[in-house]
Structure 1
Amino acid sequence: MKEVLDTVEVGRPRREPKEPQFLNPEQAEALIEQAREQGVELLGEGGLLKQMTRAVLERALAEELTDHLGYEIGDPAGIGSGNSRNGYTPKKLHTEAGTLDLEVPRDRAGTHEPKIVRKGQRRLAGIDKIVIGLYAHGMSVRDIQTHLLDIYEIDISGDLISKITDAVLEEVREWQARPLDPVWPVIFLDAIICKVRDAGTVKNKAAHLAVGVGVDGKKEVLGIWVEHTEGAKFWLRVMNDLKARGIEDVLIVVCDGLTGLPTAIEAVWPDAVVQTCIVHLTRASLRWVNYKDRKRVAAQLRLIYAAPTEQAAKDALDAWTDSEIGRQYPAIKRQWAAAWEQVIPFFAFPPEVRKVIYTTNMIESINYQLRKITKTRGSFPTDDALIKLLYLGCREMGRTTRAGRGGRSSYNWKTAMNQFDIMFPGRLDNA
């Protein structure tokens, strides 16, 4: 087996139209066949893949040292050169093939700095990607440890996993400060509630997401903020943050009746329209309703927000108030009346455009995925830990950058953009 592994050469691929192959199919077949004859498994401890990975890395490390010294092993040119080979240093290296016991060659002068496996390096970059990927899918540190041990036969500590994922925090800070487009037709604001440890106690905290829909109709997560203070002060900070990053104008902001938000939006973007999420308002209304009445009440509330005009919606609300079931739940009328100024903006648009702006369902798909990865955690030790996981979740969905806006545009987006251009003349010109 060793003789076959010794024939594996590491070199630079030739520039060819097709992707170069270091090991052709015939060589690979012969290698696998010999492994089977000698009873060597392809995977696992002592398997072919692990032996090949070790052989390739050690050969590459030896070539690096040869290049540094300037002469091959046994070459007389090395006599009197001032530096020479000086044995090997054992190193454990975590790789996708498992944990390898490498023999790293060293030089007598100690001037060689390996590039393929650097001094002090204990894992290949692929392991970091695996750990971050598992973490982004909601696995706990303990689950990741178990997975790496079972699948890759790699035993690493929880502290190392935390260090790997904490390295993402600098990327998060850069992402949170990245410049944004100057004009956004629609921005949706919503929150997910998570448990975060704060001052020795576990509290429910709201992680607010701003999701913008660009002129191309593609969604992009603009930022994540964990709420520390309630009301207008918090929202003014968020709006000022978005404006400082380049957002000069927003046509419509869709949100769930958040205290102080309309005031903050008006202070930063005075021409923006604030639209209450009708779905959230309906859900809040149904909290007052007995279970047996919910379908009936939901159907009657639909008559309000599905009305063709603002006046027809107001008439439907009055009719609800005077109905038998409406008198049973007077709190619903108070909720709708209090939010009415933020309920009615979407009546200015045709039905096909209303579907774009009257609900935060535009970001419900994003929040659904984020709730899946956060619900497995009992609580988060810090706000940063929560933001880190939410960011990684968004990154996995491809929603964290302008280039990551892939996929189809929002439904009926071209129709909506033409309506926006008429309703908000000139404001999309700089988009």
Structure 2
Amino acid sequence: MDNYQDKEHEQSANFEEMRDLAIKQLKSGKSLTGEGGVFAPLLKQFLDSALEAEMETHLQAEKKSNKKNKRNGKRKKMVKTSAGEIELITPQDRNNDFEPVIVPKRSTILADSLSPKILALYSKGMSLRDISEYIQEMYDSKVSAQTLSSIIDKVLPEVKAWQNRDLKPVYSIVWMDAIHFKVKGEDGRVTSRAVYNVLALDEEGKMDLIGMYISESEGAKFCLSVLTHLKNRGLNDILIACTDNLKGFSEAIQSIYPDTEIQKYIIHQIRNSIKYVASKDQKEFMKDLKLVYRATTSELTENELNNLKGKWGAKYPIVIESWERNWDELTNYFKYDSHIRKMIYTTNAVGRVSSPGP
């Protein structure tokens, strides 16, 4: 039991270190997947698991062919990747006929474009067959679906543990936003998937990516299931929840966290508004709209909204009505100091998690 607790503590400590490094790199604009990036250990873990899974598949094939063979220790080697040098643990077999595919014998360089793609292909929902075909086509290396399945089976328990880990009881700010992907299924059809990133700021001012959830669409029902899952993991209260203005989101949040203040993303409101404005008017309309959301006080921003309504209300009533309907949840940020307002009403923080820069 003590060994299990020590291992659990070690894994927790490793996660804390990776999380802190990720936040530091996000703030500095450094790529998470480049050299020295936080995902280098994750890549090593994936490749080590891949080699172990390939060895298991190899030994099973040997057994079916009535060949006597078994493991014969392990060997370390350094491999260069786009995330820097990684020390891999390569399993050995007694017959010395094990030929790994993903990291071949005597290979000391992993294709720069392969290392991040190995992680990205599965995370975007590609089938095992698609991943296998992709690797074979791009790198002339055949990896069976069985081997890929073995690799994923080794990685998934740790992913599940991260997805269901305990959360702090209170977070000051929680950002929820979705990024959309096109995914090709087993039947060859391409469908859309929404990945919800949930980023949180705790009471000590530390950021933490507390969840990633995949859905076929960005809807209030799924938002409710995400919030319920967060609640079950120990998150009892949120001071401010930042989200977009999809119908039903506010009701979903307040059904789980009734005392939470909701700040809707202004950038989403702007994008939704400009869709209804004729192209010939967009430049002038945006100039007037900036006076609304860049005002320094709640009184000034209300005055600018009235000016916007007086000038454009008759021509674009749907746009003005949308701002008025969502006004309270678009302007909660005025309750706070100016230096934290922008981080509340924009999606910059969660956006960097979704798309880390070069």
**TM-score (ref. length: structure 1):** 0.52
One-letter amino acid of the structure 2 residue matched with residue 269 of structure 1: Y
Q: Does 1:238 align with 2:226?
A: yes
Give the equivalent residue in structure 2 for 1:136.
119
State the distance in 2 between where 1:62 and 1:209 align: 41
Q: Does 1:91 align with 2:97?
A: yes
Match of 1:346 among 298, 321, 333: 333
Deviation string 1:276-332 (CA, Å, 9 cap, x unpaired) is 101111111111123343232222111111223323222211111111x45332221
Give the equivalent residue in structure 2 for 1:191.
178
Match of 1:282 among 270, 275, 284: 270
Equivalent residues in 2 for 1:81-120, closer than 5 Å = 89-94=95-100, 98-99=104-105
CA positional deviation for 1:342: 0.7
Equivalent residues in 2 for 1:301-320, closer than 5 Å = 301-320=289-308
State the distance in 2 between where 1:145 and 1:159 align: 15
Tell me the SS of whatever aligns to 2:97.
strand
Match of 1:361 among 335, 348, 355: 348
State the distance in 1 between where 2:242 and 2:139 align: 42
State the distance in 2 between where 1:180 and 1:62 align: 39
One-letter amino acid of the structure 2 residue matched with residue 207 of structure 1: V
Tell me the SS of whatever aligns to 1:98.
coil
Match of 2:136 among 126, 135, 145: 145
One-letter amino acid of the structure 2 residue matched with residue 134 of structure 1: K
Equivalent residues in 2 for 1:24-423, closer than 5 Å = 61=72, 89-94=95-100, 98-99=104-105, 133-138=116-121, 141-145=132-136, 149=140, 155-157=142-144, 159-165=146-152, 167-196=154-183, 202-227=190-215, 231-323=219-311, 325-369=312-356
Tell me the SS of whatever aligns to 2:309.
helix
State the distance in 1 between where 2:237 and 2:231 align: 8
Deviation string 1:211-243 (CA, Å, 9 cap, x unpaired) is 112334343221122336875443222111101
State the distance in 2 between where 1:306 and 1:235 align: 29
CA positional deviation for 1:134: 3.4
Tell me the SS of whatever aligns to 2:346.
coil
Deviation string 1:90-140 (CA, Å, 9 cap, x unpaired) is 52232787347xxxxxxxxxxxxxxxxxxxxxxxxx99xx97743125595
CA positional deviation for 1:169: 2.6
Native 8 Å contact 2:169 2:236 kept in 1: yes
CA positional deviation for 1:260: 1.9
One-letter amino acid of the structure 2 residue matched with residue 281 of structure 1: Q
Structure 1: tracts of 5 or more residues without a match:
1-59, 64-87, 101-125, 373-396, 398-431
Larger deviation, residues 306-315 vs 245-254 = 306-315
Distance verdict in 2 for CA 1:199–1:258, change over 3 Å:
farther
Give the equivalent residue in structure 2 for 1:11.
none
Native 8 Å contact 1:135 1:141 kept in 2: no
State the distance in 2 between where 1:134 and 1:202 align: 19
Native 8 Å contact 2:201 2:207 kept in 1: yes
Distance verdict in 2 for CA 1:194–1:271, change over 3 Å:
same
CA positional deviation for 1:346: 0.8
Distance verdict in 2 for CA 1:288–1:350, change over 3 Å:
same
State the distance in 2 between where 1:97 and 1:202 align: 30
Distance verdict in 2 for CA 1:61–1:171, change over 3 Å:
closer
Distance verdict in 2 for CA 1:350–1:163, change over 3 Å:
same
CA positional deviation for 1:339: 1.0
State the distance in 1 between where 2:138 and 2:218 align: 40
State the distance in 2 between where 1:347 and 1:181 align: 27
Equivalent residues in 2 for 1:6-21, closer than 5 Å = none
Cα RMSD of the aligned pairs, angstroms, is 3.6
